[in-house]
Amino acid sequence: MAAMSPEPPSPAPAPAPAPAPTPIDEDSAWDAFSRRDRLADGRFVVTVRTTGIYCRPSCAARRPRREHVRFHATPEAARAAGFRPCLRCLPDQVARDRLAVARALALLEEADTVPALTDLAEAVGYAPHHFHRLFKRATGVTPAAYARGLRNQRADIALRHQGSVTAALYEAGYAAPSRFYADSETRRGMTPGRWRRGGDGAAITWTMIATPLGQLLVAMTVRGLARLAFDEDAARLAEHFPAARIDALGDGDAEAIRERIATLACPDPALPIGARRIAFVEAVTQALAARDQPPERQL
């Protein structure tokens, strides 16, 4: 019997085409460029035909006439079109800046205690003063404030699961009880012991605030904030504080809080949603805690 010849191999599948870049809405891009919107940095670059340069949307230079401007999705596309980077706003730096902020967020997540700014900046390759401004611009809060927000989350978890307040405060990363008890006044609206006991007679008022990051539960006592949380509502609040008296906040007070929160900048949308929410909650904490305090006592 004649040997059967092997079948020819099947051709390799063609590689999937690269995804097409998201089209740029030129009217929205021009609006962001006109407002020097820092949140638009990294989404596109702006080329100016009369100068031959490309810029970040937030560039501080004087705005050219609309007919001299074009928008490109990336710095590479702008360079391919024959433009050179602006020496004032350094548009090629955006990607490096975002990587540095993302790395710093990861380091803060991993840290047991709040790291010094100099150590954090050195770890991501920036000078401290420059990195401080860069981090705050991207997140809306300073590195130290973001670390406090993380520590507050850990403290909430530790208070529910540790056997004592003392064990909880050290588990959360506090170096001493005094700071922990002071924070509990503004961040929990009651002593840690009462918080652990489900509110234990405390009067808590609450409202829901719509934000670009989702619905935010705002709950407070006469002493300070009791809870700030995304993806929670009045029913979840009652589960946290079964021994408290809980009522909806009056319309006037709720509107005042809504107006205060509306003034806060949202973190860079390129950052992970979890990090953006931590930063935003910390910014809200600072804004609301500052309402009735003199400047020297503000967070």
Active-site residue list:
55, 59, 86, 89
DSSP element (H, E) containing 206: strand 203-211
Residue 89 is classified by DSSP as T
User: For residue 291, what are the contacts with CB-CB under 8 A and spacing of at least 6?
Assistant: 260
Plot region of 201 (φ>0 → left; ψ -120 to 50 → alpha; else → beta): left
C-beta separation of 202 from 267 below 8 A: no
Q: What is the DSSP string of 156-207?
A: HHHHHHSSSHHHHHHHHT-SSHHHHHHHHHHHTSS-HHHHHTTTTT-EEEEE
Distance CA 189, CA 202 (A): 9
Q: Chain centroid to CA 255: how far? A: 23
**Cβ neighbours of 8 (radius 10 Å):** 6
Q: Chain centroid to CA 72: how far? A: 26
Q: Chain centroid to CA 38: how far? A: 14
Q: Tokens 């004032």 identify what position?
A: 88
Distance CA 188, CA 159 (A): 11
Distance CA 117, CA 110 (A): 15
Q: What is the DSSP string of 45-72?
A: EEEETTTTEEE-TT--SPP--GGGEEEE
Q: What is the DSSP string of 32-44?
A: HHHTT-GGGBTTB
Instruction: Give the pair of three-digit tokens for residue 269.
Output: 């949308």
* Terminal-to-terminal C-alpha distance of the chain: 90
